[in-house]
Amino acid sequence: MGLTSDEVDRVPLDLIIAGSDVVAVDAICATIAGFDVREILHIQGAAEANLGVCDKSLIEVRGERIDSVKYPFIPFLEGAKHLFGGANIVEKDTCSGCVGESLSTFIYLNRAGFHDKLSELTIIMGTPERIPPLGRKPVVIGRCAKEYRHLGLFVPGCPPHGMKINDAVCQALGVDKKTVQRAIFELHNSSA
């Protein structure tokens, strides 16, 4: 079961949000969710590519005022901490591709019984401005973090395939990859 399928992750806002500019719609949705649109890279990138407008001062909002329907959401990585165990996640501006692909690894390691090993893991993703002192070699995930590849096990890609991340994490933790692969097989076949 994925994180977003849990009832606890669902928040009924009783809103219908629509528009002819998908970038503007995303910008307004992000604002309603309590996020700073300037920090959401895919919205900024879409606006820079002239796919739409993300400057809220240029967006006409009809109906309810944003402030009256605003509901602050918890950032995904913060909300998913229970899956990461004690793993040290060093990241900044990580895209949903790398987060999504790496999330599966944590689900699989937990399922395989390696939850206690997660405190030995450091993952570097996105574009962190500085790396804290590291006790162990980290797993460096994705093209955006490649400048740190010299620090540990580098998994290239944009985003890298989840199984490549899984293999690198198993190697970094010294856990049996086949045990994790059995857990993956069981997980995916138990719902069939």
Are residue 177 and residue 104 in the same domain, yes or no? Answer: yes
- SS3 category, 159: coil
What is the span of the domain harbouring residue 181? 77-190
Q: 0.75 cut: is pTM over it?
A: no
The pLDDT assigned to 1 comes to 33
- Mean pLDDT over residues 85-92, rounded? 88
Are residue 31 and residue 126 in the same domain, yes or no? Answer: no
In the predicted structure, residue 5 carries a pLDDT above the cut 50: no
Are residue 104 and residue 164 in the same domain, yes or no? Answer: yes
- Mean pLDDT over residues 91-116, rounded? 89
Are residue 91 and residue 172 in the same domain, yes or no? Answer: yes
Are residue 180 and residue 149 in the same domain, yes or no? Answer: yes
Boundary (domain end) residue, out of 69, 87, 111? 69
Contact 149, 140 (CB under 8 A): yes
Q: Phi and psi at residue 21, in whole multiples of 5°?
A: -115, 105
Boundary (domain end) residue, out of 69, 97, 127? 69
Average pLDDT, the chain: 88
Side by side, the strands of the sheet bearing 122-126 are 88-92, 122-126, 139-141, 153-155
Here the tokens at position 34 are 């309590």
Are residue 111 and residue 140 in the same domain, yes or no? Answer: yes
Per-residue model confidence as pLDDT tens digits over 18-62: 999 999 999 999 999 999 999 888 899 999 999 999 999 999 999
* Cα(69)–Cα(32) distance, integer angstroms: 7
